[in-house]
Structure 1
Amino acid sequence: MRKRSGLTKFRWQAAASAALVVTLLAGCGQSKEERAAEGGASDKRIVIAVASDPALDRLDAGSYQGSIEAHPMVYDSLVEYGEKGAIVPSLAESWDISEDGKVYTFHLRKGVVFSDGTPFTADAVKFSFERWYTDPANASLNVAKSLQKIETVDETTVRFTFAGAFYPLLTELTFARPVRIISPSAVEPAGDPEGRFVKPIGTGAWMVDSYKQDQEAVLVRNPSYWGQAPKLAKIVLKVIPDAQSRVLALQSGAVDISGGSSGKIPFDNLEQLRGDKQLTVQQGTGTGSHFLIFNYDLPQLQDASVRKAINLALDKKNIVDKLLSGAGREAQGLFPLTVPYVTESNNAWYGYDAEEAKNLLQQAGYADSDGDGIVEKDGRALELNLVLQQTEFPEWKPIAEYVQSQLQQAGIRVQLQVLESNAYYDALWTTRKYDLIFYRTYSDAYNPHAFLLSLFHRTGDAPAVAWSDPRLEELIEEAVASTDLERRQELYDAWFARAREEAIYAPIYYPDDIFVVNKRVQNFKLGYTTYEPIAWNELDVAN
C-alpha cells in the first residue's frame, strides 16, 4: 500500500508546512552552521524535536506533570531498570529483602548531593515518598498501596515495610514518576512533605536551565552528578507539534534527533529519511505490542475455535512487510522477548494458515450456505465490528483494513469503526461496545505484571477488561506474590500456555523504537525504557 503514496503525501504536506517550519525554527532555534560556529567542548549541545510542551516548570518528582522523559534526566531513583528488566543499583548501592518479602532495606550511595549542593540522605528519601504515597491517586502502584512504614535507620540506610509480598515492588521503584527522589529544598517550606513545589532539584545528570512554554526547554549538565558525567553540555528540547515539520527540521539540520514516543516520525517518511546522507535511522525492538482484544461477552467469540480461526487467518508477516515500512516485527505472542519472563517457548502463538482457519470455522458449525462468501450459523452471519482510533496510532487504520480483508477471505465480515480518542477509550474501559478492538500493551517496567493485572484481572467488583478467566487470574496473583524466581517463571509459563490454549487475543505486531539522528551525533544508544529512550549521558557530537 505504501509504494509512491508516502512520498507524494510527504511532498504535498512539506509544501504546506514549510512556512510553519521557518517560523518555528527561525524564531527560537539555530541552524547547524550557527551551532557549529559556537564550537568548544564546554558548549557541546544537541537539539531534540518533541511534539508537545515539556512543561519543565511543573517537573515535580512526586507528580505526573512535565515531560515523562525529563523526569529520569533530572531525578534519580533508588534502583533503575536494566536490560530485560534487570534491577540495577542507582541511589541505592544495595538492598536486602526479608524472607517474607515484606521488608526492603536500602543502603544508599554515600557522598551524593543534589544539584543545589544539599546532601542526599535517608531523610531525603523518606521526604520524597511521604509527599505522594498516601495520595489515593497513586493507589494503582503497589509500592504506594502496600507501603505501611518508612524508617530512616541511619543517614545512609532506609527501610520500607509493606503489607504483603509483591515481587514487582523493585520494578515499580524504577518508574519515571512519582517514585524518584527530590531535594527537600525543592519545596516551600523546605523539608515539608505538604510543601509547595518550587523548582526541580534532583541528583540526576541534568538540571533545568531555561524553559519557554510551547517553544523550548534547555537542560544542562549537572556538575555535581555522582555518576558518569554527560559528554554534552546542553540538551535542547524544541517543541514542533507537526510531524511533517519535524521531518523537515531533521532534513535541514535544525534539530539533531526526533523519534520515540515524544517526537514520532511518520512511517511514510522513513524510506526517504533512510536515504538522506546526513541522517541515520536508529531502531531496535521495543517492549510493547499491538494486538486485537476479543469481547468475551459476544456469543460468537465465546467459541475458542472462532478465536483460533481469527488468529490463523491473519498473515502478520505480510502486514509488517507491506504497511510498517520496516518499523516493526511480526508478533509471535502477546509480548516481545525483550519483556521479563517471556521466552521462546512460552511465547509461541498461532501462525498463518488460511485453510486451517476455514476448517475450524466449519468444525464450529459455520458454513456459507448462500454463496456470498460469509459463513453463517443458525441463520446468522459471522459479522464483527472492529473498533480503533487514529489519533495516537495512525497506522492502525491501514492495518485494520488489511485485517478486514483477510478475515473476509476466511468468511468473516468485519465492519471498521474509527472513533476519536475519548470515545475509543470509553469503549475499551467502560461501555465495552466492540466485538474486536485494536489495543497495545504497556511497555518497559510495566510488563508483564502490570499489564496482565490491568487487562486480564478483575478490579474490585469489576470483571477483567480484556478477557475474564478465573484460572488466569489465579496464576497472575500467585506470580506477583511469589518470592521464588523459578516458581514465578513457572507461573508465567502456565499463564501464557493457557492464553494460547484459549486463544484469548490476536497479536499483530511489535513496533520498533525509531529515532532519526543527524550524523553529527556520536555514541547514540537506545535506552531500556520508553521514558529513558536514549542513553543521554553517552551522547556526543563531532567537532
Structure 2
Amino acid sequence: TGTMWGPPGSWNPITPWAVATGTRGLCYESLFLYDPLTDEYTPWLAESGEWVSSNVYELKVRKGIRWSDGVMFTADDVKFTFELGKNYEGVFYSTMWKWLTDVEKVNDYTLKFHFSEALYQEWGNVMYTMMMVPDHIWKDRTEEEITAGANENPIGSGAYLYESHGADRMVWVRNDKWWATELLGLKPAPKRIVDLINASNNVSLGMVLKGELDLSNNFLPGVADLVNWGYVTTYYPEAPYMLSANTAFLFMNLTKKPMDDPTFRRAVSFAINVNQIVNVAYANLVEATDPTGLLPTWSKYVDQDVVEKLGFSYDPEQAKAILADAGYKDVDGDGFVEAPDGSKIDLSIIVPFGWTDWMESIKIIARGCQAVGINLQ
C-alpha cells in the first residue's frame, strides 16, 4: 500500500501520471532496467545498446520475447512506441523529437536512432522509463485512445497480468508464460500482487499493526517504536529506515503573483526549515535533500561549486534581505510584506488530507514563511 491515491481507472502506460500501480513495470516493461544504488543499467527488452557514433545509437532487441497474448516482440514494437511521440503531441515524450530525428529499423531485432543533438543523459533516462507497447494492438487506436484512453485489459510483456480491480485495490496475477522465465531463469515468487488504497497514513498504520499488509510505502508515525517492537522490518535498521525513492518539492503556481518572480521564490527557499521537516514532521524517516533535488545516490554528479553559488539553505535573515532588496516591504504594518507594486500577498498551501507527514510539513513551511514576512497560510 501507499502507491495509489485513488481507485484504479487507467492502465495506459502513455499516461504514466494516471495509471494504476503496476501498469508500468509489472505489466509493461522498458528496454533497460536501472539500479540507482549501483548506477548500472541491465539490458531487459533490449539485448544491448551502444553509441556507434556521436549521434547514432544502435539498439539490439532481445529475441524470444512474447507479449502476453503470444505475439512476438520485435523492433516494430520499439519503433512504433517511439514514433507515437512523433505523431502525437499529447504523448508525454513527444518533446524528444526535438532532438531525435529518425528511428531506423535495420532488421526485425535491430534499430538505429539518429539524433540532431545527442542528449546522452536524457537518452539514458528514456531507456529505463519508457514502457514499450504492442504495435499490433495500438496501431489501430485513435489519438484520443492513445493519449487519454483507459487501455482496459492491458496486453503487456511483463511478469504480471491484469486480474481485477475495485474501488480500494488493484490485483495483478503472475504471468506463468513470462518470457524472462525461459530466457533468464527468473520466476516471480508472489502469485498475486494486491495494491490497496488507504485514505490516510493512520489507516495504513492500523493495517500494519494488525498484520494485514506485507509491504507498506506509507509514512508510518512512530516508525522507530514499530521497529523496536517488531511490528515492521525496514530497509535500514535505523534512521532514515527507508531508501530515498523520490524528492518532495514545493510547487508554486507560477501564473500568479508574486510566485512568478524568481527572487520571491528564492526568498521562500531560504525561509523553509528542511531539517525541522525531516526531524519533526517525518520523525527522521527521510533524508534532507540538497538544493539540486537529486537523490543521494546521484550526489557524485553534483557540481558543489555551483550549489555553493546558486543553492540555498535555511536562513531567515537571508530570506528577509532578499525580499527587502527586491522591494517587498511591510507597508501597512501588519507583519507581512506587500509586493513591490503595493498589492497584498495572501497565499495558501495545501496537500491531500490524511497524509499526516505532508500535513505537518506544510505547517512548518507556513510558519517559516510567516516568520520572514510572507503571508502563507
Same fold (TM over 0.5): yes
Give the equivalent residue in structure 2 for 1:227: 184
Aligned-residue offset at 1:86: 5.0
Task: Check the 8 A contact 1:314/1:406 in 2, yes or no.
Answer: yes
Q: Structure 2: which 5+ runs fail to align?
A: 146-150, 236-241
Q: What is the deviation of 1:379?
A: 11
Amino acid at match of 1:245: V
1:134 lines up with 2:87 in the alignment: yes
Preserved contact between residue 276 and residue 364 of structure 2 (Cα < 8 Å):
no
* Contact 1:147 1:161 (8 Å CA) reproduced: yes
- Cα pair distance change 1:172/1:372, threshold 3 Å: same
CA gap of 1:375–1:87, structure 2 versus 1, over 3 A, is: same
The question of whether the paired residues in 1 share the 8 Å contact of 2:4 and 2:20 is answered with no
Quote how far apart the aligned CAs of 1:199 are. 4.5
Q: Distance in 2 between matches of 1:71 and 1:227?
A: 20
Please provide the CA RMSD for this pair: 4.2
In structure 2, relative to structure 1, the CA distance for the partners of 1:248 and 1:153 (3 Å cut) is same
SS at match of 2:206: helix
Which of these residues, 276, 279, 288, is aligned with residue 318 of structure 1?
A: 276
Q: 1:193 aligns with which of 139, 146, 149?
A: 139
Counterpart position of 2:134: 182
**Are 1:351 and 2:313 an aligned pair?**
yes
- 2:239 match: none
* Contact map agreement 1:61 1:71 (CA 8 A) in 2: yes
Equivalent positions of 1:19-418 (< 5 A) are: 52-54=6-8, 59-61=11-13, 64=16, 66-83=19-36, 87-97=41-51, 99-101=53-55, 103-129=56-82, 133-138=86-91, 140-143=93-96, 148-162=101-115, 164-167=117-120, 168-175=122-129, 177=130, 179-182=131-134, 184=136, 187=137, 193-194=139-140, 199-204=153-158, 206-208=159-161, 210-214=163-167, 215-223=169-177, 224-225=179-180, 226-227=183-184, 229-243=186-200, 244-259=202-217, 264-265=218-219, 268=221, 270=223, 273-282=226-235, 283-291=242-250, 293=252, 304=263, 310-336=268-294, 337-339=296-298, 341-348=301-308, 349-355=311-317, 357=319, 384-391=345-352, 395-410=357-372, 412-416=373-377
Q: Return the alpha-carbon distance in structure 2 between the equivalents of residues 160 and 194 of structure 1.
A: 24
One-letter amino acid matched to 1:81: Y
CA contact (8 A) 2:267 2:319 kept: yes
Letter in 1 for 2:249: H
Q: Distance in 2 between matches of 1:290 and 1:112?
A: 39
**How far apart, CA to CA, are the structure 2 residues paired with 1:302 and 1:51?**
32
State the 1:256 CA deviation: 0.7
Q: Which amino acid is 2:119 matched to?
A: F
Count of aligned positions: 350
CA contact (8 A) 1:113 1:120 kept: yes
Gapped regions of structure 1 (runs ≥ 5):
1-46, 417-543
Alpha-carbon contact 2:171-2:193 (below 8 Å) kept: yes
The Cα of 1:232 is off from its aligned counterpart by 0.6
Cα distance in structure 2, aligned partners of 1:399 and 1:284: 20
Structure 1 residue 157: Cα displacement: 0.8
Distance 1:303 1:294 in 2: 12
**Alpha-carbon distance in 1 for matches of 2:204, 2:103:** 46
Q: What one-letter code is carried by the residue in structure 2 that aligns with 1:194?
A: D
Higher relative contact order (CA 8 A, sep 6+): 1
Q: Deviations over 1:170-229 (max 9, x none)?
A: 422422x5x424374xx3xxxx7216978434333x131621433441321444323351
Query: Does the Cα contact within 8 Å between 2:8 and 2:165 map onto a contact in 1?
Result: no
CA separation of 1:70 and 1:111: change in aligned 2, threshold 3 A: same
The CA distance in 2 between the partners of 1:156 and 1:54, in whole Å, is: 35
- TM-score, normalised on structure 1? 0.53
**CA deviations over 1:488-513 (Å, ceiling 9, x no partner):** xxxxxxxxxxxxxxxxxxxxxxxxxx
Distance 2:365 2:102 in 1: 51
Shift of 1:106: 0.7
Report the residue type matching 2:287 in the other structure. Answer: R
Letter of the 2:290 counterpart: Q
Contact 1:52 1:239 in 2 (8 A): no
- SS of the aligned residue for 1:74 comes to coil
